[in-house]
Structure 1
């Protein structure tokens, strides 16, 4: 038996704002979309064009309020090829929310305050 990662889902309040953030901050691209026939939800899948793993953004029509993220201890990690350039980009975007220089990593947060860990390629 074998299980393979496929995707991770996060719910977002503003789909276009989230797509723009992930495109600009991490270079992700939209690979597919699915919309409910009644317009109640829309799914957008993003990829880095290298791994088979995808990020699924879910927008729900009847949920315009912010999502309760608890203590926000969960996160998605991205390995970047040019740590300094990404750090500067994220600093310019104002989305860095935590840095641990001793460990050589930092976190950014998306428009819905999901945390994303950024680590250098080894």
Structure 2
């Protein structure tokens, strides 16, 4: 028996805003979408174009609260980048960097719903 990663999920408030953020900040593109017949939810899967792993963005029509409770937000998604310095500059220009750990050589950005995303230099570098 072998398990492989399929996707991670983030529940989001504004689908268009999130899609624009993930495209601009990380170059992620929609690879598939599932919409409920009654319009109660939309699932959009984003891919990086090279791995099979996807990020599932879930929009729920009937979510009535202002935002999702992320608790202490101790969970996160991590992506490697081949141009760490260029990515850091871009994300600073986007004003989405929330934490830099220079000792570890990593930083975190925040998406429109408050999810943290770790950016790490590619091991191929």
Normalised by the shorter chain, which TM-score bucket? over 0.9
Written as runs of structure 1 = structure 2, the 5 A alignment for 1:34-45 is 34-45=34-45
Alpha-carbon distance in 1 for matches of 2:114, 2:94: 14
Alpha-carbon distance in 2 for matches of 1:83, 1:60: 34
Alpha-carbon distance in 1 for matches of 2:8, 2:119: 17
Alpha-carbon distance in 1 for matches of 2:44, 2:86: 27
TM-score by length of 2: 0.96
Written as runs of structure 1 = structure 2, the 5 A alignment for 1:9-88 is 9-64=9-64, 65-88=66-89
Unaligned runs of 5+ in 1: none
Report the secondary structure of 1:67's partner residue.
coil
Report the secondary structure of 1:63's partner residue.
coil
Alpha-carbon distance in 1 for matches of 2:121, 2:93: 18
Alpha-carbon distance in 1 for matches of 2:116, 2:74: 8
How far residue 13 of structure 1 moved from its aligned partner, in angstroms, is 0.2
4+ aligned runs moved over 6 Å, structure 1? none
2:111 is aligned to 110
Alpha-carbon RMSD across the aligned residues, in angstroms, is 0.6
* Matched residues, number: 122
TM-score by length of 1: 0.98
Alpha-carbon distance in 2 for matches of 1:107, 1:47: 19
In the TM superposition, what whole-angstrom CA distance separates every residue of 1:49-97 from its partner, at most 9, and x where no partner exists? 1011000000000115200000000000000010011001100000000
Unaligned runs of 5+ in 2: none
